[in-house]
Amino acid sequence: MSQITSEIWTREKDDLMEMKMELREVLVTRRMPEAGMDLLGRECKIRLWDEERPIPRNNLLELAKGVAGIACMLTDRIDRVVMDSAGAGLKAIAVMAVGFDNIELAEATRRGILVGNTPGILTEATADLTWALILSLGRRIVEGDRMVRQGKFNGWAPTLLLGADFSGKTIGIVGIGRIGFAVAKRAAGFGMKVLYYDPRPLPAEREKEISAKAVLLPELLRESDFICLHCPLIKETFHLIGERELGWMKESAYLINVSRGPVVDEPALVRALQEERIAGAALDVYEKEPELSAGLVDRPNVILAPHLGSASIETRSKMSVMTAMNLLAGMRGELPPYCVNPEARKLFPRPSNS
């Protein structure tokens, strides 16, 4: 067991040893890091989709039959059909992500199914990934790597792969939650001006902490050199960045999306790139993930990352533990440590002799 796994296990061992829960079956829709799998394996029989691709719908429905808990990924649609397949014994659902729009939450709550997520823990890793994309995009690192690998680098040249400076530029952050705030804090080290748009502006003291100014979305898009998306996927943010919004951006501006794919109208983005109406884009998430809109892979000024936002060893290990703890607690009828529908506990099915 790794050091981080051991540390986490030590912190939780006493509570886990007190569990008096019968061995139940749970579905894990993708292999998680060892720490989380170990916790679940001590208390449950695990049905695991152990392939390096999202679980197909028919397999999901089949494997869900009769399980007491489902540990899922953001790419898995857990709706009433899946809940029906699991049956009345389904007590808890835990998603290994901050977002939980893949779960039909109202239906889960109606059935007394407790749902947990993994907030907070991935903030720093995702902010770091955002800056990795900003720097790589602005300084054309991926293009340069490709050039060298293809044997096209003939030595230093004064105009070779000229990119953007960062000092003195403006970064616009759409969504100033935990991750957006962490991205803004890092901008100070580059001497950048920070604008942000959020329906719920920060208190003045929090704005001062990151030297940020709240503006409306049109102003942010018109004034920013680097635009980073960190908003949740809800009805109001679906295609938040579309044809009109891309038209507001500078021709020299870059778009970075590490939030949710459908926040961006991907075909509209492809057209803006093809017509050189913006300088480039970096995406870690996609509208129809893992599928890509036609034309994205053809653009040299686009970085396409495979959903790496939280992909550090430490962060993913901790996320797997949070997922396991949510699921185990929920199956016992206890409030998961990171519960998104605590009201469901009132409807949690109780044994007839309880």
Strands 254-257 and 280-283: parallel
- pLDDT tens, position by position, for the chain (354 residues)? 444 443 444 444 444 444 434 578 999 999 999 999 999 999 999 999 999 899 999 999 999 999 999 999 999 999 999 999 999 999 999 999 998 999 999 999 999 999 999 998 999 999 999 999 999 999 999 999 999 999 999 999 999 999 999 999 999 999 999 999 999 999 999 999 999 999 999 999 999 999 999 999 999 999 999 999 999 999 999 999 999 999 999 999 999 999 999 999 999 999 999 999 999 999 999 999 989 999 999 999 999 999 999 999 999 999 999 999 999 999 999 999 999 999 998 887 665 443
Q: Are 266 and 296 in contact (CB under 8 A)?
A: yes
pLDDT of residue 10: 42
Percent helix, strand, coil in the chain (nearest 5)? 40, 15, 45
Output the pTM of the full model: 0.85
Calculate ∠ Cα 107-113-117, nearest 5°.
Answer: 95
Nearest to 256 by CA among 338, 149, 354, 135: 135
Instruction: Report the distance separating Cα 354 and Cα 347, nearest Å.
Output: 14
Instruction: Report the distance separating Cα 37 and Cα 8, nearest Å.
Output: 13
pLDDT of residue 195: 98
Say which residue the tokens 């790794």 belong to: 2
Q: Helix H segments across 211-312?
A: 217-223, 243-248, 266-274
Work out the number of other CB atoms within 10 angstroms of the CB of residue 290: 11
- The secondary structure of 93-156 as a DSSP string is EEESSS--TTB-HHHHHHTT-EEE---STTHHHHHHHHHHHHHHHHTTHHHHHHHHHTT---S-
Instruction: Report the distance separating Cα 172 and Cα 27, nearest Å.
Output: 40
Kindly state the tokens that stand for 58: 């028919």
By CB atoms closer than 10 A (0-12, 13-18, 19+), residue 41 is: middle
Kindly state the tokens that stand for 178: 């935990």
pLDDT of residue 346: 84
Q: Are 138 and 162 in contact (CB under 8 A)?
A: no
Say which residue the tokens 């635009």 belong to: 227
- The secondary structure of 190-229 as a DSSP string is GT-EEEEE-SSPPPHHHHHHHTEEE--HHHHHHH-SEEEE
pLDDT of residue 52: 87
pLDDT of residue 12: 47
Q: Are 336 and 114 in contact (CB under 8 A)?
A: yes
Nearest to 89 by CA among 270, 273, 333, 338: 333
Nearest to 27 by CA among 8, 45, 1, 5: 45
Instruction: Report the distance separating Cα 22 and Cα 18, nearest Å.
Output: 12
Residue 148 neighbours by CB under 8 Å, 6+ apart: none
Instruction: Report the distance separating Cα 138 and Cα 282, nearest Å.
Output: 10
Q: Go through the domains of the chain in sequence order and give each one's CATH number.
A: 3-119+312-347 (3.40.50.720), 123-304 (3.40.50.720)
Instruction: Report the distance separating Cα 222 and Cα 108, nearest Å.
Output: 41
pLDDT of residue 22: 56
In total, the chain counts a number of residues equal to: 354
Reported as half-sphere exposure (CB side, CA atoms, 13 A), residue 210 has a value of 25
pLDDT of residue 348: 75
* Coil, helix or strand at residue 14: helix
pLDDT of residue 350: 60
Q: Which residues are catalytic?
A: 260, 289, 307
